[in-house]
Copies of this chain bind each other. A is one copy, B any other.
Amino acid sequence: MAKRPSRPIHRVPLTSREALLFEAGIKLGGIFHQYLGIPVSPRTAGALARSIESAVGLQPFVERVRVRIAPRRGGPLGRGRFGYCYVTAEMIDARVTLADKGTRVVARLSYRADLRYPLMRVESAKNARATKRRSAI
């Protein structure tokens, strides 16, 4: 069994909640910057979303991921051989749940039309224990 090495990841003591907030940011920042530009259509959007979920699900601390890609938010499709589109910021809605030792953080990336911005925000952060400690690798 892969036993955890004892060296801490971070160079300062962080609560589980703080460490998970950092990790949640990593996941959302990564999703945004990895998948823009992939060809997508209404027919392939579901499988693409599943493949993003599988990829993010491999990363440390991830308990759950739910991704939706809405190709129609990219505006009207072209015609004929241009009748598909590329993933844009407007299309992506991703929610990640990270957990560690009883603490659980939920964060979300979704496009805010009012801000014209792909906003990443924390939806919940439940801290099981308040004690500070160094998290180990």
Q: Identify A58's interface contact among B26, B44, B56, B107, CB under 8 A.
A: B44
Chain A residues packing against B (C-beta within 8 Å) = 2-5, 9-12, 14, 17-19, 21-34, 36-41, 44, 47-48, 50-51, 54-56, 58-61, 75-86, 88-89, 107, 115-125, 137
CB distance from A85 to the nearest CB of B (A): 8
| Total copies of this chain within the assembly | 4
With A14-B21, A33-B37, A122-B11 known as contacts, the answer to whether A55 contacts B50 (CB < 8 A) is no
Determine the chain B residues whose CB is within 8 A of the CB of A34 once the complex forms. Answer: 33-34, 37-38
A83 to B137 Cα, complex, angstroms: 12
Q: Assuming A2-B80, A85-B116, what are 17 further A-B pairs, CB within 8 angstroms?
A: A4-B80, A12-B124, A18-B125, A19-B122, A21-B21, A26-B26, A29-B33, A33-B34, A34-B38, A37-B89, A39-B56, A44-B54, A48-B51, A48-B55, A76-B116, A88-B88, A115-B137
6 residue pairs, one from A and one from B, having the closest CB atoms: A25-B25, A29-B29, A26-B29, A51-B51, A2-B80, A29-B30
